[in-house]
Amino acid sequence: MAPTTQHYRALFEPAGVIVAGASTHPGKFGFVALHNILSCGYAGRVFATNRDGGEILGVETLTGLEEVPDGAADLVFVCTPASTNAALLREAAAKGVQAAFIASAGYGEAGEDGRRAQDDLVALAEELDLLVVGPNGQGVVSTPASLCAQIVAPYPPRGRIGIVSQSGNFVSSFQNYARQSGVGVSRAVSAGNAAQVGVADFLEFYAEDPETDVALAYVEGVSDGRRFFERLRAVSERIPVVLVKGGATAGGARAAASHTGSLATDDRVFDGMCAQAGVVRAATIEEAFEAAASFATQPLPPGPNVAVVSTAGGWGVVTADAIARTDLQLLALPEDLRDELDGLLPPRWSRNNPVDLAGGETKDTIPAVLATVARHPSVDAVVLLGMGIQGNVAAMERDGGFYPGHGLERIVGFHERQEQRYTAAAAELSAELGKPILTATELAVTAPDNAAVQGVRATGRYPYPSSNRAVTALEHLWRYARHRQRRS
């Protein structure tokens, strides 16, 4: 019988967790898993087993599962050798455990004997009515439960992105980006060898999961392509799925075959399959995270027409170039909008899209122009450029040796408040109007403490590190929206 939502709840929101094979050695997985569970705020009961007993990280370990009270734990995190796991899982199931994450290696990746052990593991899972994740996986994270059951770092901030990966290290990569950007994660799981359940199973759970708004997946290969397609298509009707595939080129495919044993397919077929299913396919890990962060924090654009609002010329020009290379449209500025902006800006403004303020702003110009542009019915999305200039000046003045004094406190404070005001206005307008507004500045990576970058973060949104990356993310939003529109 296939695992049910109840099994996935046991995995992601367990009332108690058992770490089987907890180790006293801080370099071992069995130590790290226990450490991470204890140090990220998990509120349920934590049990640990160790062959020799004794205390680890303040937890009095058990020599076996018989001492675990019935029903006290839903999840067992398994770090014990593969050969001992069958007996362990039987005992765990008898104690009411419904989900097991198997970090142990020595299964399908380890030759003929390992493959047999993996087949036995799946049969046992069915027999015991257990959800078995892995084996050979790095762990599971669930921020609503403050659960960090993984043998690696990091633990991400809470958010709306559900992650699943055929490669555990990309779970870490995505979570690293989540920490850096502040756009958080709901659940994350490394599928390992995906013996019983794989990427599609977790995507189906995320589609049902009230904590998750967008799924983010790394895939190297699939065993039943046709069924994978049908399942992806059904999930995409519920939530956006952002997918990055390893092995898209001939060289990458050879590497994938040795990594996960996956069969290669013509990449153009995979690409078409994604388009047909409504799956958002990203070319890189970074692009995938940014697309997912955009789905998690921005509304879908109602159409392809983009307005670029910039405080200075060059940024707008390269952004117009970037838009021209996509399915997005650089909106030809409607007459009435131009007239309205004429009333807000000095005569030297660009009078076209990109809307270039040409440095002609008073303290209220940027929010006023942004609101006027965003509210126009022809505008479907806005890319906002030039945020952070004032914050950058403020940072230099704060650190320049004359601060405080010389009137610097007042002006530094003003600049920083203005940045917060602009970025807050962008998020509020976007939410009110149901149109994406993406703020892009390289300061997101070069000076993450910048007041504008912090301002974007404070709204829960993603500070795009360049306008071309913002445009790429926006194109993903639009392509998904268009797919849904054409099929509704």
Partner 1 sequence: MASSTGRTLSEAASKELLGRFGVPFLPERVVATPDEAAAAAEELGLPVVVKLGGDAIAHKTERGLVRLGLEDAAAVARAAGELLAAARPDDGAVHLLVAPMVKGNRELIAGLATDPQFGRTVMLGVGGVLAEAVADVSIRLVPIERVDAEDMLDDLATQALLGAFRGEPPVDREAVVAVLLGLSAAAESTPELRSADLNPLIVVDGRPVAVDALVEVAS
274 neighbors 243 (Cβ within 8 angstroms): yes
With a CB cutoff of 8 Å and minimum separation 6, the contacts of 263 are 221, 223, 257
Write down the least CB distance from residue 288 to partner 1, Å.
Answer: 20
Nearer to partner 1, 22 or 274 (CB): 274
Q: Which is nearer to partner 1, 276 or 362 (CB)?
A: 276
Name the token pair of 95. 């104690």
Return d(Cα 307, Cα 355) in angstroms, integer: 7
Q: How far is the CB of 269 from partner 1 (least distance, A)?
A: 5
Would you state the structure tokens that stand for residue 28, as one six-digit string?
Answer: 């071992």
Half-sphere exposure at residue 263, Cβ-oriented, CA atoms within 13 angstroms: 6
Residue 63 or 223 with smaller CB distance to partner 1? 223
Residue whose CB is less far from partner 1, 29 or 228: 228
Q: For partner 1, which is the closer residue by CB, 131 or 477?
A: 477
Closer to partner 1 by Cβ: residue 47 or 229: 229
And the tokens for 63? Answer: 């020599």
Residues 6+ away with beta carbon under 8 Å from 404? none
State the nearest-atom distance from the C-beta of 240 to partner 1, in Å. 17
Q: How far is the CB of 213 from partner 1 (least distance, A)?
A: 25
Q: How many CB atoms lie within 10 A of CB 472?
A: 23
Q: Which is nearer to partner 1, 1 or 486 (CB)?
A: 486
Q: Which is nearer to partner 1, 101 or 270 (CB)?
A: 270
CB of 239 to partner 1, least distance (A): 20
Alpha-carbon gap, residue 456 to 290, rounded angstroms: 14
What distance in Å separates the CA atoms of residue 386 and residue 419, rounded to the nearest whole number? 10
Q: How far is the CB of 221 from partner 1 (least distance, A)?
A: 8
Are 72 and 95 contacting, i.e. CB atoms less than 8 angstroms apart? yes
Shortest distance, position 280 Cβ to partner 1, whole Å = 14
Sign for the CA dihedral angle at 451, 457, 459, 463 comes to positive
The CA-atom distances, in angstroms, between 313 and each of 25, 316, 335, 354 are 58, 6, 21, 8
- In three-state secondary structure terms, 264 is coil
Asked if 141 and 150 count as a contact pair (C-beta separation under 8 A), the reply is yes
Closest approach of partner 1 to the CB of residue 365, in Å: 39
For residues 449 and 395, give the distance between their C-alpha atoms in angstroms, rounded to a whole number.
9
Judged by the rule CB under 8 A, the positions of this chain that interact with partner 1 are: 222-226, 229, 263, 265-266, 268-273, 275-276, 327, 486-487
